[in-house]
Homo-oligomer: A and B are copies of this chain.
Amino acid sequence: MKPVVVRTIKRADSNAIGTLGAVGVSTAHEALGRSGLMKPYLRPVWAGAQIAGPAVTVLAQPGDNWMIHVAVEQCQKGDVLVVGCTADNTDGMFGELLATALVARGVIGLIIDAGARDVKALKEMGFPVWSRAISAKGTVKAALGAVNIPVVCAGVNVVPGDVVVADDDGVVVVPNNLAVETAAKAQKRHDDEDGKRKRLAAGELSLDMYKMREGLAKAGLMYVDKPEDV
């Protein structure tokens, strides 16, 4: 890793971002072929937010938030800041002051593979954060990392400019070059689900709706009448 800040990144298509943010994480993840999902240990610090935006990335050292300060300057309106860490760490690398700075630049949320603090203030400000821990543990500003290089965050490789979608179900990353295609598929999927929901609510079985019975029989599923028959 070279200690470097990349000033110019190619942000994903804004229409695609809008669509992906509207359908949410689960649908976007399905549309992407079930990949790009961050590990489920990342949880929202407060519930209810749903965002999408291009990633500005940070690679930080454990217990050190120097590079987050550096990254603020590289952010634009609508961006999502994504912070990976060179080792597993739960220190509170991010809190109210940094959130204030990001809001001032129009950043709409933070994804951090480490801890966050000032939970109450973040909620009052309405600034959404997805983190692996909540911890008051303060951090030093001593070791360099990098800004806007590809970063692995919670199990996903995030390239600057990729679309980050986050809501109560988690965080998914759609690669920049697949954003438009994935948004279209996601929209279609979203529209289709409405019809399915109505049929299921009316009592139709998914076994029939998805025509699963034949496949199950072929795979060898047997029905018996009583426990003793097993």
Residues of A within 8 A of B (CB): 1-9, 25-26, 29-30, 32-37, 39-40, 43, 47-48, 59, 61-64, 66, 69-70, 72-73, 86-92, 95-98, 100-101, 103-105, 115, 117-120, 133-138, 140-144, 148-150, 152, 155-157, 160, 167-170, 172, 193, 196-197, 200-203, 205-207, 210, 212, 215-216, 219-227, 229-230
Closest residue of B by beta carbon distance from A74: B223
Closest residue of B by beta carbon distance from A35: B1
B149 and A152 form a contact (CB under 8 A): no
- A84, chain B: closest CB distance, angstroms: 9
Q: Given A97-B197, A152-B156, are A120 and B29 also a contact pair (CB < 8 Å)?
A: no
B61 and A140 form a contact (CB under 8 A): yes
Closest residue of B by beta carbon distance from A142: B142
Q: Give A89 to B196 CA distance when docked, in angstroms.
A: 27
A138 and B26 form a contact (CB under 8 A): yes
10 A–B contacts, CB within 8 A, in A order: A5-B222, A35-B59, A35-B86, A40-B133, A97-B197, A101-B206, A105-B203, A118-B169, A152-B157, A160-B227
Interface residue from B26, B196, B212 paired with A92 (Cβ < 8 Å): B26
B69 and A206 form a contact (CB under 8 A): yes
- A85, chain B: closest CB distance, angstroms: 9
Closest residue of B by beta carbon distance from A98: B206
- A202, chain B: closest CB distance, angstroms: 7
- A138, chain B: closest CB distance, angstroms: 5
Q: Give A47 to B44 CA distance when docked, in angstroms.
A: 14
